[in-house]
Structure 1
Amino acid sequence: MLIQNKKIAIVGGGMGGLTLARLLQLHGAAVTVYERDLNRDVRVQGSTLDLHEGTGLEAMKRAGLLDEFYKYHRPTASKLRIVDKDLVVKFDDHDDHEAVAENRPEIDRGPLRDILLNSLVEGTVCWNCQFVAMEKYGSGWLLHFKNGQNAYADIVIAADGANSRVRPYLSNIDPVYSGTTLVEGNIYGAQKNAPKLLEFTKGGKVMAFGDEQFIGYGTKGDGSILFVASTKLPESDLREIVLDFQDKKQIFKWFKNHFNGWSSGWDEFFINDHVHFVLRPQYYFPLDQHWETRSNLTMIGDAAHRMPPFAGEGANVAMQDAFELAEYLTNGKYETVQLAFTYFEKDMIQRGAEATRDTLENSDKMHSETALLQMVDFFRY
């Protein structure tokens, strides 16, 4: 087997990295995951994930974790209400008991990460290891971390997300701005801090469209809400944004200026003291990107094919990358790791381009003049 007696470093402990670690360990590989979080108890950010047949669900199946997944998945999280900018309901599937698409069951990121972490050999994850740099060392790599630690690996796999620090060792291709920017907010204790909008979800999610803009939010099992307010914004304007995201009044003013005409009912997201904001300009890597395959370095997930979130493909494609890469490295069909990487990267780049194309098309629809009508028709029919 190609990875026998090889030390494998996976940089990044997100869904793709942890899935890959699990699958490689099932084949007896020596794997260490280097994760920048201080420990596993750090609060996991991000929206609820819907895992898809053939990608995320297939990864859990191959990892032997499908039964464990269904212990924690949230059927009601799939329920959807589509509204206009005045919170007038245009579509609601809560009364349709067949509307939950079980081919895309949903789960919070925290429980999913716990399932994957619990499946790994004890000590697999090196916490508080933020990657800084690496250099060639013998036939492998010497990795350096912010905490002062160093580690040797025969093979390095970048799974460190959209702003990957490992990617530049493979590719110097810059991401492309998509034309949309969103403000993401996390509200903890939503029952107290955003009670009206929490009740409005009926335990599911809400999508609102108007004025070529989009607001979406959903509940999580820990009682929190994650929401995004997305708008078209020229890159020149983006460069001029100077916001203190600790200053909630400033963010609220930004929202009222950019979402002028939207109902004051949305203000509840911005006027409580328990909301945390992040500005997220949406970038993607070119659909025709390529790089020279290395003998001991590759990448998966957003590090390889960054894309906006408007099709729910990011985590799913990353988890597919994980099981595809594990297969290429362990199926015995290739004489060298570099040859396995060559075929893996060719397929991955194509898959990533297709997912990115779908995401960009979805983004155009969701930020169009007819977005509300299009989205209602899509979910109704």
Structure 2
Amino acid sequence: METLKKINLINGLDIAIVGGGPGGLALARLLQLKGARVKVYERDLNQKARVQGAIVDLHYHSGLKVLEAAGLMDAFKARYMRGADSFRLVDENANVLVDDYFQSGRYTFGDEHFRPEIDRGALRDILIDSLLPGTMVWDSQLIHLSLRDGRWEMQFKNATHASSDLVIGCDGHRSGVREYLTDIQSVYSGASIIQGEIDAPRTACSELYSMINNGSLMAAGQGKMLMVQPRGDGGLTFYAASMYPENWEKVSGIDFRIPREVCDYLDNFYDGWHPAFHTMFSACKHFTYRPLHYHPLTLRWQTKPNITVLGDAAHLMPPNGEGVNLAMLDALDLSDCLTNGAYQNIEDALMAYEKSMFARALPICGETVEGIKDFASPSKESIRKLIQIFGNDENI
């Protein structure tokens, strides 16, 4: 039987990656290693335009695997936050329920249980710095796509235009690319978080700063949750989670641009909690309200020959520690499908990638959505489950 000739699908193609998050940047790096012509179109004005958020942990079978394939493990090892993979669970009175600080450091690179943390901005910088000069096209927010003679014409908010043979949307929850594949909209999970940023926690909320000890802190009380994480620049990010009506931001009467209004609400909502948490609220000068959405678990689309999406643009789900890792693994799978010579055309390669991507994301999304109330509005029983998960059920 005659063996089919392997075809270099990316040879001569102009590939546009829309969105410069970890998934899109990892994809650009992996494709460039295979000789692809790639541009990354990012809405930010420049590399330092905004804080990228708190830390993110990378996993052995996904994020770390991708960095290894991209030849970036040494750069990662030089910048990851040692000890930040530690974790502490407390109740509303700051009584410790689970303390993983004593065990932090028992794993290291090469162990599948090791989940090293890195500042999101540092991870982004590592990926950007690995790209060929001129790859990043800043201040490029996509507003329209049109297909002409088999090529995508892209229009951006800054009135510039570009064209490409293949468009890959890595542009998150509100993806401007996904709408060219499906009109299915995301669904509100019932939970929301109020996110706060504190630039100088060592002095502004010293007791809380000592409590987190450069790791992650989760405080669980009846019907509400707090999660606190360090940032690579010495600041911290906290997430105040609970169940809210979908239109709560509009009907709450709170102007989230005025920190005092948000702080007053949180002080009241967390009434009776340890004073260190209230000091943390008062120290915050920037709040953001984030309703948590997810894509319907049945979301699928008919594969198209020259456009696809990855990461949150493809399988949005509430925060679960897997988002960045899944996006980076999507990038590895997609780059492999496009370059491994197993497919006769781009459409077949994209179909294979999408099948694998959906199969991987479905159970994780389903589990996350099912457990959203336990996360955002925990009961005594769900707190007990949390303790059991982390291997210590002696405290409740």
Partner of 1:16: 23
Conserved in 2, the CA contact under 8 Å of 1:85 and 1:209?
A: yes
Conserved in 2, the CA contact under 8 Å of 1:80 and 1:206?
A: yes
Cα distance in 2, alignment partners of residues 199 and 218 from structure 1 = 12
Q: How many residues align structurally?
A: 379
Q: Could you tell me which of 112, 119, 143 is aligned with 1:132?
A: 143
Partner of 1:164: 175
Partner of 2:5: none
Conserved in 1, the CA contact under 8 Å of 2:205 and 2:276?
A: no
Q: Secondary structure at the match of 1:128?
A: coil
- 1:1-381 equivalences in 2 (<5 Å): 1-97=8-104, 103-235=114-246, 237=248, 240-272=251-283, 275-309=285-319, 311-366=320-375, 367-369=377-379, 370-381=381-392
Conserved in 2, the CA contact under 8 Å of 1:212 and 1:371?
A: no
Conserved in 2, the CA contact under 8 Å of 1:2 and 1:329?
A: yes
Deviation at 1:187, TM superposition (A): 1.0
Residues 11 and 230 of structure 1, relative CA distance in 2, 3 Å threshold: same
Deviation at 1:362, TM superposition (A): 4.1
Conserved in 2, the CA contact under 8 Å of 1:295 and 1:337?
A: yes
Conserved in 1, the CA contact under 8 Å of 2:39 and 2:135?
A: yes
Question: Which one-letter code corresponds to 1:256 in the other structure?
Answer: D
Conserved in 2, the CA contact under 8 Å of 1:208 and 1:216?
A: yes
Question: Which one-letter code corresponds to 1:118 in the other structure?
Answer: D
1:80-127 CA-partner distances (Å, limit 9, x unpaired): 111001112222222235555752111111111111011100110001
Q: Secondary structure at the match of 1:120?
A: coil
Deviation at 1:231, TM superposition (A): 0.2
Cα distance in 1, alignment partners of residues 366 and 82 from structure 2 = 28
Conserved in 1, the CA contact under 8 Å of 2:243 and 2:373?
A: no
Cα distance in 2, alignment partners of residues 128 and 190 from structure 1 = 32
Instruction: Determine what percentage of the aligned residue pairs are the same residue.
Output: 39
Conserved in 2, the CA contact under 8 Å of 1:79 and 1:100?
A: no
Question: Which one-letter code corresponds to 1:37 in the other structure?
Answer: D
Conserved in 2, the CA contact under 8 Å of 1:177 and 1:283?
A: yes
Conserved in 2, the CA contact under 8 Å of 1:269 and 1:275?
A: no
Residues 378 and 144 of structure 1, relative CA distance in 2, 3 Å threshold: same
Residues 97 and 270 of structure 1, relative CA distance in 2, 3 Å threshold: closer
Q: Secondary structure at the match of 1:271?
A: helix
Deviation at 1:269, TM superposition (A): 2.4
Contiguous gaps of at least 5 residues in structure 1: none
Cα distance in 1, alignment partners of residues 317 and 148 from structure 2 = 33
Q: Secondary structure at the match of 1:76?
A: coil
Conserved in 1, the CA contact under 8 Å of 2:42 and 2:136?
A: yes
Question: Which one-letter code corresponds to 2:230 in the other structure?
Answer: T
Q: Secondary structure at the match of 2:390?
A: helix
Q: Secondary structure at the match of 2:282?
A: coil
Question: Which one-letter code corresponds to 1:297 in the other structure?
Answer: I
Question: Which one-letter code corresponds to 2:356 in the other structure?
Answer: D
Q: Alignment RMSD, CA only?
A: 1.7
Conserved in 1, the CA contact under 8 Å of 2:54 and 2:232?
A: no
Conserved in 1, the CA contact under 8 Å of 2:41 and 2:137?
A: yes
Deviation at 1:256, TM superposition (A): 3.0
Question: Which one-letter code corresponds to 1:60 in the other structure?
Answer: L
Conserved in 2, the CA contact under 8 Å of 1:131 and 1:145?
A: yes
Cα distance in 1, alignment partners of residues 253 and 358 from structure 2 = 35
Conserved in 1, the CA contact under 8 Å of 2:311 and 2:326?
A: yes
1:237-273 CA-partner distances (Å, limit 9, x unpaired): 455244322211111122234334333321122213x
Q: Secondary structure at the match of 1:78?
A: coil
Conserved in 1, the CA contact under 8 Å of 2:191 and 2:291?
A: yes
Deviation at 1:192, TM superposition (A): 2.7
Partner of 2:4: none
Question: Which one-letter code corresponds to 1:55 in the other structure?
Answer: S
